[in-house]
């Protein structure tokens, strides 16, 4: 059993990025996309820092105190490299989301991951 308090914030973000990527890929396959070109293009609507920041705004009010603490832990990490297409605020928020999903994964909260992902990316937001 891993002590989540001892897992570094960058490690949680690294894992959370993968967890989110799996959620996105599963969602896109379930939507019927079948070519790698279509799948990769559609995935950008989810994984851009700006998209993750918008998604995080939707779920932030729904988080428990502990979930919010992990989000803030990631959001407040010092960033030295910010993508050209994202603001510092968007990138920090996206990192917070990744840390949150990394924490949820390591704590075995698969249903909560699915629930928050669905709420973060409602169908209407994907246009």
> Which active-site residues does the annotation give?
17
Kindly state the tokens that stand for 77. 């990490």
Percent helix, percent strand, percent coil in the chain, to nearest 5: 75, 0, 25
Determine contact, residues 74/96, Cβ cutoff 8 Å: yes
Q: Read off φ and ψ for residue 23, nearest 5 degrees.
A: -60, -45
Q: How far is CA 26 from the centre of its chain?
A: 14
Q: 10 Å Cβ neighbour count for 114? A: 14
């Amino acid at each position: 059993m891993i002590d989540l308090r001892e897992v570094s914030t960058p490690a949680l973000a690294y894992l959370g990025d993968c967890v989110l990527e799996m959620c996105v890929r599963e969602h896109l396959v379930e939507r019927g996309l079948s070519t790698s070109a279509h799948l990769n293009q559609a995935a950008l609507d989810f994984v851009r820092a700006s998209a993750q920041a918008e998604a995080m705004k939707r779920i932030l009010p729904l988080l428990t105190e502990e979930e919010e603490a992990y989000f803030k832990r990631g959001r407040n990490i010092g960033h030295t490299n910010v993508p050209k297409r994202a603001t510092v605020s968007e990138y920090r928020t996206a990192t917070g989301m990744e840390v949150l999903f990394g924490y949820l994964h390591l704590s075995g909260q698969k249903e909560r991951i699915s629930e928050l992902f669905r709420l973060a990316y409602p169908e209407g937001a994907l246009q």
